Structure 1
Amino acid sequence: MASMDVHFWKEAIHDEIDSIMHNNTWVLADLPSGFRQKEGIDFFDTYAPVARISTIRLLLALAAIHNHVIHQMDVKTTFLNGDLDEEIYMKQPEGFVMPENEHKVCKLKKSLYGLKQAPKQWRQKFDDVVLSKGFALNQVDKCVYSKFDTSGKGVMICLYVDDMLIFGTGLEEVNKTKKFLSSSFEMKDLGEAEVILGIRIKQGNNGISISQSHYIEKILKKFNFENLSPVSTPIDPSLKLLPNK
């Protein structure tokens, strides 16, 4: 709060608090007597919603072969969507303690950033919503969901935490899926897929090309190397490499 960027910090903090309150993440309550304080709850299986990179490459290849439509959506405040199975309390956030309720604590109704079970709860919530709409869960990569009718029309959803690719046999099927997802979660429609996990996707008449130029440019810019002259061999060509032991 003492920095030159205090205005931006306050804006970001208020945006986050607004999202939390809009989502009914907690209610104020008295801390039950004898309730033991813990750092968090461990789960052996975090069940993280992360699709394999090989799956994404395969789906892009299939989309190129069958001329599928590829769009992208982003879930806002992802980890605030999960429902909790446990009784968890936390202190009121510093700077946002409710007047005349200073002695109360927040009883969590939904998952929150920092909870060890947050990824698991978000994934479970997404599973429940999507599978209830007739989607099938892929048994090889359980971050892929598909739904096709008898005529072969349909979509596939590939989930990577809060980012998802939607592959459809047509734009109409993709838009139906977007509408359904937006009715269940607070979503951001990114239109045609362009970048996922640092991979740039270019769709054209001759198919789909993917490259990591976007990621490379980002890294070069981060370390102030974007204006250097490129060379064909980025290491000393006279260096003799030894076998990896």
Structure 2
Amino acid sequence: MHEEVENFERNHIWDLVEPPPNCCPIGTKWVFKNKQGENGMVVRNKARLEGIDYEETFALVARLEAIRILLAFAASKGFKLQQMDVKSAFLNGFIEEEVYVRQPPGFESAKFRDRVCKLRKALYGLKLKSFLLKSGFVMGSVDKNLFLLSRGGDTLIVQIYVDDIIFCGSSHALVSSFAEQMSREFEMSLMGELQFFLGLQINQSPEGTFVHQAKYTRDILKKFDMGDSKPMTTPMSTNTALDADEDGEAVDQKEFRGMIGSLLYLTATRPDIQFVVCLCARYQASPSTSHRQAVKRIFRYLKFTHELGLWYSSGSSLSLRGFFDADHAGCRIDRKSTSGTCQLLGTSLVSWSSRKQDSVALSTTEAEYVAAASCCSQLL
């Protein structure tokens, strides 16, 4: 908290003023978070001062497939990805509106307790984009969180996810120079080689990069008391046909939704469970015993395969390919088809989906065309 307040004072975020007439200053509160590494140990304690009346916040958030593409690209080129964390919760940008907030709890001025803080800059607002563009970076045309810098024959790539930055380049000198510039310009902490990012465990080696969620898998098995369950070799039986099961016994909806939510995040590195998780997710409104049994089988499969993940080999080509397929009228409730697609960058799987189509296909050909359109959209 002291570090955060010192950052505010250093950046001259506000002026302490008498409250104007009819002023209702925004209340503030402290929000705390422990940032953990892949071994579960706390690597940093964070404190953020937030306005209680905030309705909207804006931060750069990269899509997971964009991060996977960067991982595959870096592995292909033999680049070593580095990670950097923003200490002071971003850069503060000037604001034009008159905004008053109460003094931070626990840090009220002893002499001017009745005064309020008139903001000169936003408490938190990422202005890193403008800085990178001024420094010669080019923003990605599709992924607005990706920035490229070409200098001589070398290239530097920067990907932003809220207050985490991952970057790599063809020149060690260029990468080091960027890290020093960011640390000098902003309150940043260099965390070294990328190993743990958004819950993904990342092992980089000369042969390639392995991305997995083994720790997360063990955590959710423990969370839902499935750690001692009997392992299964497949996530779903081939003769299983889920439907609404209106006559089945109802189960705890909150628990079922929690299990589905945990599994959906696991699909970030586990395409082998994508179809069955998305199939079970359709019945969150009124789950029954048969639906919970199907979900429990997925957990039993994870116990057998918790070390699986994605392998991105070095030296892989960068050709983009896509594959798709579709069943016809596979859903037993509304007879809609399900599209399955995947996209590869060389030999690296970077994107995939299993999704029920929006309309009822009148033929297998129509179902295939819908799946093809979805696959091509993702490729583009």
Q: Taking structure 2 as the reference length, what is the TM-score of the superposition?
A: 0.52
Summarize the alignment of residues 11-22 of structure 1 with structure 2, pairs less than 5 Å apart: 13-22=1-10
Residue 223 (structure 1) shift: 5.1
Task: Give the Cα separation in 1 of the matches to 2:146 and 2:58.
Answer: 14
AA of the residue aligned to 1:99: A
Alignment CA distance shift 1:72-1:111 (3 Å): same
Residue 15 (structure 1) shift: 4.3
Aligned residue for 1:149? 151
Aligned residue for 1:7? none
Aligned residue for 1:4? none
Summarize the alignment of residues 34-113 of structure 1 with structure 2, pairs less than 5 Å apart: 34-35=22-23, 47-79=58-90, 81-112=92-123
Given that 2:80 and 2:204 are in contact with CA atoms closer than 8 Å, whether structure 1 keeps it comes out as no
Task: Give the Cα separation in 2 of the matches to 1:108 and 1:162.
Answer: 22
Could you report, residue by residue, the CA deviation over 1:1-20 in whole angstroms, capped at 9, with x for unpaired residues?
xxxxxxxxxxxx44443443
AA of the residue aligned to 2:17: A
Task: Give the Cα separation in 1 of the matches to 2:227 and 2:82.
Answer: 30
Given that 1:71 and 1:167 are in contact with CA atoms closer than 8 Å, whether structure 2 keeps it comes out as yes
Alignment CA distance shift 1:64-1:19 (3 Å): same
Could you report, residue by residue, the CA deviation over 1:26-74 in whole angstroms, capped at 9, with x for unpaired residues?
221112234465775767xx65301111111111111121111211111
Aligned residue for 1:28? 16
Residue 150 (structure 1) shift: 3.5
Could you report, residue by residue, the CA deviation over 1:65-108 in whole angstroms, capped at 9, with x for unpaired residues?
11112111111131463433322111123332212212211112
Could you report, residue by residue, the CA deviation over 1:166-212 in whole angstroms, capped at 9, with x for unpaired residues?
02113222111111111121111111111221122111222112122
Task: Give the Cα separation in 1 of the matches to 2:229 and 2:90.
Answer: 40
- Greater RCO, 1 or 2 (C-alpha within 8 Å, sep 6+): 1
User: May I ask how many residue pairs the two structures share in their alignment?
Assistant: 221
Q: 131, 138, 141: which one pairs with 1:139? A: 141
- Please report the RMSD computed on the Cα atoms of aligned residues, expressed in angstroms: 2.8
Task: Give the Cα separation in 1 of the matches to 2:101 and 2:11.
Answer: 17
SS at match of 2:12: coil
Q: Which structure shows the higher strand fraction? A: 2
SS at match of 1:69: coil
Give the unaligned 5+ runs of structure 1: 1-12, 113-117
Given that 1:90 and 1:107 are in contact with CA atoms closer than 8 Å, whether structure 2 keeps it comes out as yes
Identity of aligned residues (%): 34
Alignment CA distance shift 1:184-1:235 (3 Å): same
Task: Give the Cα separation in 1 of the matches to 2:168 and 2:218.
Answer: 27
Q: Taking structure 1 as the reference length, what is the TM-score of the superposition?
A: 0.77
SS at match of 2:81: strand
